[in-house]
Structure formats: C-alpha cells, structure tokens
Amino acid sequence: MLVAAAVCPCPPLLVPDLAAGAAAELDEARAASYDAVGVLAAARPDRLVVVGPAEESGRGAFPAGTRGSLRGFGVAVEAALGAGEPGERELPPSLTVGAWLLERTAWQAAPVEALGLAESLEPERCAELGRQLAAGAERLALLVMGDGSACRSPRAPGSFDERAAAFDAAAARALGEANTGALAALDPALAEALHAAGRSGWQLLAGAAEGAGLVGRLLYDEAPYGVGYFVASWS
C-alpha cells in the first residue's frame, strides 16, 4: 500500500555543481525537494521506488546500487541508487537526479529501487503500473521525478505556447490536492506537445494512490527557465 509520495522536478540544474553561478535560482526548489524526501522517510516505508522519465531504450526497472552520471551535461557528478552492486546499466538523467537527492538527504529509511517510464506511455498503462506497485501489504513510498511544460516563455526549451500556463496550473493544483482523478485526466497529447516530462510519472502515482486516502501539499510551483517545476508531498 502507498503510504507517502514526493513529487520533485528532475532538471540536472537542480544539482548545484552543474548550475554553477545560477545555482541560487533553484535554491527554493532544492530545499522543497529535501523537505519532500524528509516526509517520505518519516512515513517509515518498507520500500522506496524512484520513478522518472526515460528514453525508450532506458525503460524498465533499476535495482538498488545502480549508478547514474551527469557527465554528459559537463560535470563529473555521479549518484548511486542506495546500497548494492552497480550493475551494467546506468540510470537515466531523471533517476540520477533522484538518486542524488536521496544521497544529499542521507536516505536510509528503506531499500531503494527505480523505474524508468517512457514519456509516451499511455495513461491507463501508467495507472496500472502504479496499482501493481502499491498492491500488497508492504508500506510503499514513491519519489516521482518529472517536470511540467517547457513552453512557459519565449526562451523556454520548447518555445512559448499559450496553453502551457493552464496545463501547469492544472497539474500543480492536482499535485497539491493529491487529486488522483485530475492527474489521471491529464491529456497525454497536450503534455507531449508542451514537452511536459512528468505526465507519465504523475499518472503512475495516481494509480498507486487510488483509495490510499493521502493528503497533498504543494511546496513549490515556479517556472524559472520557462519550465514548470513542482514539488509536492503526499502523506
């Protein structure tokens, strides 16, 4: 059963070493993410699953000990998914940022594993994966990594789209209210058009949280680079 969830953004810029002189611009997002992970630990889960977007070739499960690197973004930052053997596969960037968050908060509350999701995965398939994760009596926590639209300003990575602000507002509201129905209703085609990398993970969370009675709290909602970044805590 799902006992807690944290939703965090996954840009590599969340890591100060990569952001360098611009690191202060995401100080609030970083602090909110640390707080959200702290709520996960306080829930005393038996198991933590980190969920994040991955390329088609990167889909699937990653066991404890799997490592990721941000060297492709110009910094020699690595992070491991808890304790265990490194394995042959590398974490995709979104899950590497999740592993980095866990290292920075000294996570020891429960064994960790991860799941990469294709951003194109159908909503019902996402929800079903969430239901499967939450089935059974073990106390499950989820750390869901993902961003909102990338079209909030003319300089945004996806260029400006007038639909982006409304999409992000609906997503932020649903995350803050732990509204599983509203998350399940997010339009995958619109999310793809707006380059929203969090949609599949949020809809997995919606499936996992069905009937769990969790209460949500929105800790951060900004678009500093024209990309919607949200932090939410469900407990």
Flag whether pLDDT at 118 surpasses 70: yes
Mean pLDDT of the chain: 94
The model's confidence at residue 216, banded by pLDDT at 50, 70 and 90, is: very high
pLDDT, average across residues 218-226: 96
Identify the CA nearest to 213 among candidates 235, 191, 229, 189: 235
pLDDT, average across residues 179-190: 98
pLDDT, average across residues 213-229: 97
The model's confidence at residue 227, banded by pLDDT at 50, 70 and 90, is: very high
Give backbone dihedrals phi and psi of 162, rounded to 5 degrees, phi first: -65, -15
Flag whether pLDDT at 164 surpasses 70: yes
pLDDT tens-digit map of 134-146 = 998 999 999 999 9
pLDDT, average across residues 190-219: 98
pLDDT, average across residues 115-124: 95
pLDDT, average across residues 49-63: 84
Which overall architecture, per CATH, does domain 2-234 show? 3-Layer(aba) Sandwich (3.40)
pLDDT tens-digit map of 167-184 = 999 999 999 999 999 999
136 vs 56 pLDDT, higher one: 136
Please state the domain extents for the chain: 2-234
17 vs 152 pLDDT, higher one: 152
pLDDT tens-digit map of 9-39 = 999 999 998 867 666 889 999 999 999 999 9
pLDDT tens-digit map of 82-114 = 887 777 789 999 999 999 999 999 999 999 999
CA dist 43 and 231 (Å) reads 17
Whole-number pLDDT of residue 72:
87
Whole-number pLDDT of residue 24:
83
Model confidence, pTM: 0.96
pLDDT tens-digit map of 37-54 = 999 999 999 999 999 999
